[in-house]
């Protein structure tokens, strides 16, 4: 095995670092999609039943996201929340630390069958998206009377 010189190894390390830096800058500028266009992050969520509202409430942590970039959809008993957190390019910024995740997000939440998704409402405030899904009210049991058609009544006559 050939021994490499210290300067050759250092040169390879620099080239690799430059390539990583270039990819990072492309990602920040929106020129490159993270993870080949897949979901970049999954927002945290609280899901609970609100007794006063008689509704299931789904509250998602989505700071820094334009509400117009959020899609809500209920299919069968699954609520899907998806969208994009867009990076705002700052040409004069030199980052010391960057921890906020940008890109596509998605979250799926299972809902109980009693939810009336047709009456759902959503509100975005203070970096939180709150979706309220009312629970269908149960109707009381009712007896259903059975009537006989005239034809059946005629057949029973002696």
- Condensed to tens digits (0 to 9), the pLDDT of residues 90-117 reads 889 888 888 888 889 999 999 998 999 9
pLDDT at 138 over 90: no
Q: What is the pLDDT of residue 53?
A: 95
Distance CA(68)–CA(115), nearest Å, equals 25
Answer yes or no: are the C-beta atoms of 71 and 104 closer than 8 Å: no
Q: Which fold has domain 37-134?
A: Immunoglobulin-like (2.60.40)
What is the pLDDT at residue 153? 56
Length of the chain: 158
Tell me the domain boundaries of the chain.
1-32, 37-134
pTM of the model: 0.64
pLDDT score at 31: 44
Strands ordered across the beta sheet of 103-110: 70-75, 78-85, 103-110
Residue-wise pLDDT tens digits, 4-62: 677 778 878 888 887 777 777 666 654 444 444 577 889 999 999 999 999 999 999 99
Q: Is 134 helix (H, G, I), strand (E, B) or coil?
A: strand
Residue 107: its pLDDT value, please?
A: 94
Query: With bands split at pLDDT 50, 70 and 90, how would you rate the model's confidence at 128?
Result: very high
């Amino acid at each position: 095995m050939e021994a490499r010189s210290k300067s050759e190894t250092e040169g390879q390390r620099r080239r690799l670092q430059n390539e990583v830096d270039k990819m990072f800058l492309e990602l920040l500028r929106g020129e490159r999609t993270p993870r080949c266009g897949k979901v970049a992050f999954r927002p945290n969520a609280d899901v609970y039943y609100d007794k006063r509202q008689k509704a299931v409430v789904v509250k998602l942590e989505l700071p820094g996201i334009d509400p117009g970039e959020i899609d809500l959809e209920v299919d069968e008993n699954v609520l899907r929340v998806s969208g994009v957190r867009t990076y705002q390019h700052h040409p004069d910024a030199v980052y010391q630390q960057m921890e906020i995740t940008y890109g596509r997000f998605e979250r799926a939440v299972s809902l109980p069958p009693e939810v009336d998704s047709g009456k759902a409402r959503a509100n975005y405030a203070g970096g939180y998206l709150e979706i309220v899904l009312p629970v269908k009210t149960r109707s009381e049991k009712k007896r259903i009377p059975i009537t006989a058609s005239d034809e059946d009544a005629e057949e029973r006559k002696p």
